[in-house]
């Protein structure tokens, strides 16, 4: 599977422009041969644009997500619209299972290459350090794993990287590649590098940490989108500017590494 991680330049509160730019980048990545394109956390509003969350929120059947289902089908590429501000009440009204019947969630939605919605992941660990996320969002409850382009894929979001037990549950469901859409700011660059690599090493899985790019009143995103292989080796990485990071993900490689170094088997 060819994975393309879009380090999007996110403008605070400029929802229409951010979404237009993201759709264009999905088309470009598909034209370059990607099988799965991943977007960063809250690429629609910008993570630090807290006052924009409620105005920008939509349900899972909203127009904004429909654009990514359409571009996935049009370009023949899977897309992680990852993440947007979800209106849980609007989603519940359409019969979707939600963690609360009202409120907002930080939600990643994975579409297959035919535009079918395959996975919904709502961020579990909401960030409260210099952030209003814990005051404005409802945490998720489910951690699904699905097969995309022959690879077992799971999703976590940004701050979730600091909670390794979340990833162990996905390993039990056969995860081979974890996508981590994020809005990781300076100055915690070494944390960003270390935690993504650690999750790859301890779970013997590919981990793609997909950050945004841009400056906000409350922080500057550090970029450095990176794909790690099951040994924790960096396959591809970036600096802080807008770009696309691409790498190949091979499920046979995961199986070989786990057979060669059976740390998962040796857990007690």
Dump pLDDT digits (tens) for 122-174. 999 999 887 899 999 999 999 999 999 999 999 999 999 999 999 999 999 99
Q: Three-state SS across the chain?
A: CEEEEEECECCCCCHHHHHHHHHHHHHHHHHCCCCEEECCCCCCCCCCCHHHHHHHCECCCCHHHHHHHHHHHHHCCEEEEEEEEEEHHHHHHCCCCCCCCCCEEEEEEEECCCCCEEEEEECCCCCCCCCCHHHHCCCCCCCCEEEECCEEEEECCHHHHHCCHHHHHHHHCCCCEEEEECCCECCCHHHHHHHHHHHHHHHCCEEEEECCEEEECCEEEECCCEEECCCCCEEEECCCCCEEEEEECCHHHHHHHHHHCCCCCCCC
- The whole-number average pLDDT for the span 192-208 is 98
Dump pLDDT digits (tens) for 80-114. 998 999 999 999 999 899 999 899 999 999 999 99
Q: What is the pLDDT of residue 216?
A: 82
- The whole-number average pLDDT for the span 189-205 is 97
Q: What is the pLDDT of residue 257?
A: 97
Q: What is the pLDDT of residue 59?
A: 97
Percent of the chain with pLDDT over 90: 92
| Band (255; pLDDT cuts 50, 70, 90) | very high
Residues in Cβ contact with 203 at an 8 Å cutoff, skipping those fewer than 6 apart? 167, 168, 170, 171, 175, 178, 264
Phi and psi at 258, nearest 5°, equal -65, -30
Q: What is the pLDDT of residue 135?
A: 93
How many residues are listed for the chain in this entry? 268
Q: What is the pLDDT of residue 156?
A: 98
Q: Of these residues, 58, 86, 133, 158, which one is catalytic?
A: 158
Of 81, 110, 76, nearest to 23 by C-alpha is 81
Query: How far from 107 is each of 80, 122, 123, 197, 221, CA to CA, in Å?
Result: 10, 4, 6, 23, 19
Q: Of these residues, 5, 58, 86, 123, which one is catalytic?
A: 123
Q: Which of 56-70, 116-130, 145-159, 211-225 has the lowest mean pLDDT?
A: 211-225
Q: What is the pLDDT of residue 218?
A: 75
Catalytic residue check, 158: yes
Angle at which helices 189-203 and 165-172 pack, to 10 degrees? Answer: 30
Q: What is the pLDDT of residue 268?
A: 86
Over 80: is that where the pLDDT of 244 sits? yes
Catalytic residue check, 41: yes
CATH of 2-260, one of 3.60.15.10, 1.10.260.40, 3.60.110.10, 3.40.50.150: 3.60.110.10
Q: What is the pLDDT of residue 219?
A: 81
Domain definitions of the chain by residue range: 2-260
Q: Of these residues, 41, 86, 176, 240, which one is catalytic?
A: 41
């Amino acid at each position: 599977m060819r994975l393309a991680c879009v380090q999007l330049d996110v403008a605070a509160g400029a929802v229409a422009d951010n979404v237009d730019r993201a759709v264009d980048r999905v088309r470009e990545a598909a034209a370059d041969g990607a099988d799965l394109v991943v977007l960063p956390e809250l690429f629609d509003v910008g993570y630090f644009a807290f006052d924009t969350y409620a105005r920008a929120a939509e349900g899972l059947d909203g127009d904004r997500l429909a654009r990514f289902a359409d571009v996935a089908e049009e370009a023949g590429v899977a897309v992680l619209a990852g993440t947007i501000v979800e209106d849980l009440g609007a989603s519940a009204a359409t019969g979707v299972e939600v963690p609360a019947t009202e409120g907002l969630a930080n939600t990643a939605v994975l579409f297959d290459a035919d535009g079918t919605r395959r996975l919904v992941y709502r961020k579990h660990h909401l960030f409260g350090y210099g952030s209003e996320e814990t005051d404005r969002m409802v945490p998720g409850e489910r951690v699904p794993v699905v097969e995309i382009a022959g690879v077992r894929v799971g999703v976590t979001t940004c701050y979730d990287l600091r909670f390794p037990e979340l990833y162990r549950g996905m390993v039990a469901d056969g995860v081979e590649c974890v996508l981590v859409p994020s809005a990781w700011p300076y100055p915690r660059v070494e944390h960003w590098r270390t935690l993504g690599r650690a999750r790859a090493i301890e779970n013997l899985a590919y981990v793609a940490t997909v950050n945004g790019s841009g400056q906000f009143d409350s922080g500057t995103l550090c970029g450095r989108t990176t794909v790690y292989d099951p040994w924790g080796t960096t396959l591809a990485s970036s600096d802080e500017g807008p770009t696309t990071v691409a790498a190949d993900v091979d499920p046979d490689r995961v199986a070989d590494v786990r057979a060669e170094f059976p740390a998962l088997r040796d857990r007690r």
